[in-house]
Amino acid sequence: MSMHSSHRDDGRRSRVGDTRGGHRAKSRTRRIVIGGGALAVAGAATVAVSLASASQYSGPTAGADHAVFVQGNELDGNTIHVFARDDDGKLKPAGTFATGGKGGDQIDAPTDSLASQGSLVYDDRSGMLLAVNAGSGTVTSFRVEGQQLKDRQVLDSGGEFPSSIAVRGRIAYVMNAGGAGSVQGFRITGKGLKPLPGSHRSLGLDNEDIPRFDTSPGEVEFTPDGRNLVVTTKGNNTVVVFPMKRNGLPAVAEPVVNKSAGGVPFAISFDASGKRMLVAEAEKSTVTTYKVTHGGKLKVLQQPLPNGQETLCWLERAGKYFYGGNTGNSTVTGYRMDKSGKLSLTNEVGIATPPSANSQGVIDLAVTEDERFVYVQNAVSGTVDGFRVEADGALTKVTTAEGLPVFAESGMEGIAAA
């Protein structure tokens, strides 16, 4: 985006029982202006989608149950592209599964149709994969069995253009980016999702039903203790917080509004302790470290840290390291956090792995549960790169999956690992 799921206990992969413990290809060039800066983004989309459909697929599913899931976000019918992952991090196609809904494309979106993080979430506690169908205003749940997706369920998302999902314990919240924007809660049951009465809250935004990419909210996420639900609002330059009750309902009718320390706040992540919240900011490619205090107020612990790259939007943690996707120049930045909580770059240039001609349009990322591998979506190239995390935080490429939906009228967005 120019202007995910890891096993970290930041809300997307929960092991805790309640809410508090826990599309025809073509070339496209667009000029994007964010916060007074301008960026030319060009992409030639020529990769054909060749993965088998779930009904046609009869290949092997044996071996380890590790998988990487990629959301195609196709406008005529959203799909999940499943890849088997071996112990070395290499990926092999294992089938494609229809979500029963339609993908979406935000207005003027440059490379990332959903302009969000967390549009596809794997919850290891329940074994469910949750996906947004932005074009049809629905959310889909699957039961994951190895590399197979079963028991599909499709529900109304409670708003327009759903684009992000957060999970904590048995509760999931969907962020709807269209119109005024909203969050809607669901209870995770053995049969899928069930709407949570009394959970719907407005974000008070001013968007059309299909929002602009630069004014839509960026992500919804729980704090690791489950006490707060956090949403980044890019165009308003705010980070809003809903303090939460033990029953999974927001404790307030309207969110607590905090001004963002950096311009265009987008992605949310948490350190290993769960006490520090990191927010990636697209305007100047910075990351701010906060503490979420009592009552939903934010305290800045470290001022915005620039990475020297272009348009940082996505951010995920792998152990003591964090990795950010810079869609403006298609790079991945590495960060480390020391024992005192100070964040720094893993190297002076702010690039954790050399950029590649086959890795253009870097967007969302996912980290495996063991934190050994990072997978990065490349929207313009229609690829996913897999990297091994080295001891010094550097990333070594181990695999590239091809043939995914290339960004044109829409494009893939959303990735998760199991």
- At 65, the pLDDT band (50, 70, 90 cuts) reads confident
Whether the pLDDT of residue 37 is over 60: the answer is no
Cβ(332)–Cβ(323) below 8 Å? yes
Token pair 């992605």 is found at 267
**CB atoms < 10 A from the CB of 27, how many?**
10
Average confidence (pLDDT) over 261-267: 98
Q: How far is CA 66 from CA 89, 146, 153, 256, 416, in A?
A: 9, 7, 23, 39, 11
> What's the pLDDT tens digit per position in 144-172?
999 999 999 999 999 999 999 999 999 99
Pairing label, strands 162-168, 91-98: unpaired
pLDDT of amino acid 64: 55
Whether the pLDDT of residue 42 is over 80: the answer is no
φ, ψ of residue 294 to 5 degrees: the values are -60, 135
> What's the pLDDT tens digit per position in 357-368?
999 999 999 999
**CB atoms < 10 A from the CB of 238, how many?**
20
Select the CATH number that applies to the domain covering 28-57+64-261+361-417 from these four: 2.120.10, 1.10.10, 3.40.1350, 1.10.287: 2.120.10
* Nearest-angstrom CA–CA distance, 147 and 95: 8
Average confidence (pLDDT) over 112-130: 97
> What's the pLDDT tens digit per position in 309-353?
999 999 999 999 999 999 999 999 999 999 999 999 999 999 999
